[in-house]
Amino acid sequence: MLVILRSVVLFVIAAVAEIGGAWLVWQGVREQRGLLWIGAGVIALGLYGFVATFQPDPNFGRILAAYGGVFVAGSLLWGVVMDGFRPDRWDLIGASICLAGVAVIMYAPR
What is the reported pTM?
0.90
pLDDT band at 92 (very low <50, low <70, confident <90, very high): very high
Q: What is the pLDDT of residues 25-84, one digit of tens each?
A: 999 999 999 999 999 999 999 999 999 999 999 999 999 999 999 999 999 999 999 999
Q: What is the pLDDT of residue 25?
A: 98
Q: Is residue 68 within 8 Å of 98, Cβ to Cβ?
A: yes
Q: Is residue 65 within 8 Å of 97, Cβ to Cβ?
A: no
Q: What is the pLDDT of residue 69?
A: 97
Q: What is the pLDDT of residue 37?
A: 98
Q: How far apart are CA 87 and CA 42, in angstroms?
A: 27
Q: What is the pLDDT of residue 4?
A: 95
Q: Is residue 99 within 8 Å of 70, Cβ to Cβ?
A: yes
SS3 109: coil
